[in-house]
Amino acid sequence: MSRLKTAHEVVGPWSLATSKRFWEGFTPGELAHQTSAEGIRTVFLCDTDWQRVDAVVTQEGGSARIVVDGPGDLDAATEQVRRLLSIDIDGRGWPDVAARDEVIADAQARLPGFRPCGFFSPYEAAAWSVLSQRVQMRQAAATKTRITKQLGDDGAFPSPEALLGATLELPGRKAEYLRAVAEAALDGRLSGSYLRSLDPTGALAQVQSILGLGPFAAELAVIRGANFADVLPRNEGRLNDEIVKRYGTDRSVEEITETWKPFRSWASVHLRALRGMATPAGS
Query: Domain of 162?
Result: 122-137+152-225
Q: Which CATH number belongs to the domain containing residue 217 in this structure?
A: 1.10.340.30
CA atoms within 13 A on the CB side of 222: 30
Pick from 76-85, 136-145, 221-230, 258-267: least confident: 136-145
CA atoms within 13 A on the CB side of 55: 30
Counting residues of the chain whose pLDDT is more than 90, the rounded percentage is 84
- 130 and 220, same domain (yes or no): yes
Output 54 or 25, whichever has higher pLDDT. 54
Helix 137-151, helix 122-131: angle, nearest 10 = 120
69 to each of 5, 73, 148, how far by Cα in Å?
9, 10, 20
Across the chain, mean pLDDT equals: 92
Taking 90 as the threshold, does the pLDDT of residue 16 lie above it?
yes
- 87 and 178, same domain (yes or no): no
| The amino acid at 147 | I
Q: Which CATH number belongs to the domain containing residue 26 in this structure?
A: 3.30.310
pLDDT value at residue 25 = 65
Task: Decide if 275 is inside a domain.
Answer: no
Domain boundary at 181, 206, 225, which?
A: 225
pLDDT, tens only, 194-215: 999 999 999 999 999 999 999 9
- 85 and 17, same domain (yes or no): yes
Cα torsion 129, 134, 140, 144: sign: negative
What residues does 44 pair with on adjacent strands?
Answer: 53
Is the Cβ–Cβ distance between 31 and 155 less than 8 Å? no
pLDDT value at residue 34 = 57
Q: Please list the alpha-helical segments (H only) found in 65-187.
A: 74-84, 94-100, 102-110, 122-131, 137-151, 160-164, 174-186
Task: Decide if 84 is inside a domain.
Answer: yes
Taking 60 as the threshold, does the pLDDT of residue 260 lie above it?
yes
Q: How far is CA 150 from the centre of its chain?
A: 23
- Give the confidence band of 159 by pLDDT, cuts at 50, 70, 90: very high
Task: Decide if 75 is inside a domain.
Answer: yes
- 25 and 68, same domain (yes or no): yes
CB burial of 16-28 (b: ≥16 within 10 Å; e: otherwise) equals: bebbbebbeebbb
Number of folded domains that form the chain = 2
Burial label for 130, CB within 10 Å (0-12, 13-18, 19+), is: buried
